[in-house]
Amino acid sequence: MKICLCSDHGGLGLKKAVMKYLDDSGYEYKDFGCFSQDSCDYPDFAYPAAKALAKGEYDRGIFICSTGIGMSIVANKVKGVRCAHCHDVYCAEFTRRHNDANALAIGEKVVGEGYALEIVKVFLETEFEGGRHERRVGKISKIEDEEFK
């Protein structure tokens, strides 16, 4: 599984912890930035990562900022990205099972590092259930087709 990963300055610390988890777990990933604590604008990193995810260059994305909200807004502007903003393991599990979310947004200042890594683990390991949920995800795709002409 290939993962695209990004943060702004507010999520840099958690991104580094996620990168260590990904390294230790044998995941392949690309860090789209940011690379310092200097103030920066999250769309500059979220948009390229989301575009690469939507093109199929990556299987999943992890987007981190102070709250996760800004990153999720940007990622969800890209057709083909279903980015779930999750603060807990339950939501991470069920957004994969029921929504086939391909991206996770998380906030460094909202979730502690240890729990955040549990959320990432569950998000990456949980499979889409399909079945009745395929119909619903298909409806999301139809909305995207209509709105992103």
Strand 103-107 to 60-65 pairing: parallel
Catalytic residue status for 83: no
On whether the CB atoms of residues 125 and 26 are closer than 8 A, the answer is no
Catalytic residue status for 87: no
Helices 12-25, 113-125: crossing angle, 10 deg rounding: 50
Among the options 4, 6, 65, 91, which is catalytic? 65
Q: Tokens in use for 111?
A: 């979730």
Among the options 40, 87, 98, 133, which is catalytic? 98
DSSP state, residue 62: E
- Which positions ≥6 away from 11 have C-beta within 8 Å? 64, 65, 66, 68, 71, 106, 107, 108
Residues carrying an active site annotation: 65, 98
